Amino acid sequence: MRQESLATELGVSRLPVRDALLRLEAEGLVEVRSDRGAYVTSLTAAECVEVFDLRVLLECDALAQAIPSHTARSIRSAEAVQVELEVEDETPRWVEGDRRFHALLYEPSGRARTLRFIEMLRNIVDRFYLTRLAHGVRRDPWKKEHRAILEAVRAHDIGRARAALAGHLRATQQVVLAALDRPDPEAPSCRNTR
């Protein structure tokens, strides 16, 4: 689609559409090509590995920084979200709950920039969960991994928490890589949004 068409459809001028596309480009979700429009980006296997390498580095650090500030109450909040995740059957709601779970784990770190980078990296990967995966694929392992992370956080065991989180993220990486290997017949790899 053309930027003009998007602007008309949304009832706004072209400027907000252009700004939105540039923000999406900054997050790695679209590629804006001069005089050729904007395209939804796809994720290669190498890019997926890079995203998860960064997630392991940033999320393990955020968790290590958060653990000393976790309280019984903050841990109960994360546990409550985990209980909801264990019975959730709708993938979009599960993805949102998983996001909340991880955010609650890292929030006491007080590292706002790190948390924004983590969110940006999750945005790149979460669209694959929503379009190509059902969370039931790894329901029991994800539950056990989340529970292991919570147990380590509750014990204020930074080393064990980091190891459990890294293992969880690497297992998730394998699921995404497997999904990338399967063609998605319903979604083209690039869509022109000009």
For 3-40, the fitting CATH number among 1.25.40.10, 1.20.1250.20, 3.10.400.10, 1.10.10.10 is 1.10.10.10
The tens digit of pLDDT for each residue in 98-156 reads 999 999 999 999 999 999 999 989 988 887 766 666 666 788 999 999 999 999 999 99
Provide mean pLDDT across the span 28-44.
Answer: 72
Ranges of each domain in the chain: 3-40, 45-181
Q: What is the DSSP letter of 39?
A: E
CATH class for domain 45-181? mainly alpha
Closest of 87, 89, 121 to residue 106, by C-alpha: 121
Closest of 92, 68, 84, 189 to residue 143, by C-alpha: 84
Output the pTM of the full model: 0.79
